[in-house]
Amino acid sequence: MTVPNEHESSARQAPPGADEEAADVGALQAALAAAEGRALESRDLYMRALAELDNVRKRASRDVEQAHKFALERIANDLIAVKDSLELGLANAAPTDKLRAGTEATLQLLSRALEKAGLTEIVPQGEQFNPELHEAMLAQPSPQHVPNSILQVIQKGYQLNGRLLRPARVIVAKEP
C-alpha cells in the first residue's frame, strides 16, 4: 500500500466544485461592495438634493417676506409728497383758517395709515450727521454747535420697515 502525498490528500479532501464556489463568493463580495458604493453615492446625492430644496424653500420664504414688507414702497413715496404738501399748507395757514381743522384731521389720518404700513419719519434735529440717513444741503459755521451736528431739518426723511425711502435733507454745523 502506498502513502498518499500532501497534494493528493488535499485534492481528495476538497469537495468537488469548491473552486467554483470560491469564485462565486468572490464575485458576490465584489458585487456587494459595488452595490454599497452606489448606495453611498445615491445617499450623498439625496442629501445634497434635500439641502438644496431646503435652501430654495428658505430663499422663497425670504423673498415673499421682503415682497410683503416693501410692496408699499412705490405708493409710500407718492403719499410722502401728499403728506409734505399737507404739512406745508398747515405751516402757512392762518390760525383762523376754516380749512385748518380738516387739513389737520386729514394729516393725522394719513400719518396713522403710513405708520401702520411701517413708514417712520426721520427728523434728526440736533443729532450727529449720518450720511446713511441724512443728505447735507449746506454746511454752516456755528460756534455754539458741535461740528457735524444737524442745525436744521429742511425736509424730513422716511424709512419703510428699516429701508431708507428718502434721506432727511439737513443743514449741518461746521467749525467757524
Per-residue model confidence as pLDDT tens digits over 53-102: 999 999 999 999 888 777 788 888 889 999 999 999 898 888 887 888 88
Within-domain flag for 47 = yes
- For the chain, count helices (H), then strands (E): 4, 6
Within-domain flag for 5 = no
> Are 111 and 138 in the same domain?
no
> Are 175 and 123 in the same domain?
yes
The x, y and z cell numbers of residue 76, run together, are 409710500
Decide if pLDDT at 5 tops 60.
Answer: no
Q: Which residues contact 88 (CB under 8 A, 6 or more apart)?
A: none
Within-domain flag for 102 = yes
Within-domain flag for 9 = no
**Residue 93 carries which DSSP code?**
S
Label residue 20 by pLDDT band (50, 70, 90). Answer: confident
> Are 89 and 125 in the same domain?
no
**Residue 145 carries which DSSP code?**
S
> Are 150 and 106 in the same domain?
no
Say if CB 140 and CB 171 are below 8 A apart.
yes
The one-letter amino acid code at 45 reads: L
> Are 104 and 126 in the same domain?
no
> Which pLDDT tens digit goes with each residue over 112-153?
999 998 899 998 988 999 999 999 999 989 888 888 899 999
> Are 172 and 156 in the same domain?
yes
Domain membership of residue 65 as a residue range? 20-70
The C-alpha atoms of residue 155 and residue 137 are separated, in whole angstroms, by 10
The C-alpha atoms of residue 123 and residue 73 are separated, in whole angstroms, by 19
The C-alpha atoms of residue 149 and residue 173 are separated, in whole angstroms, by 5
pLDDT in the model for residue 85:
92
Within-domain flag for 133 = yes
Q: How many domains does the chain have?
A: 3
- Output 73 or 169, whichever has higher pLDDT: 169
Say if CB 127 and CB 149 are below 8 A apart.
yes
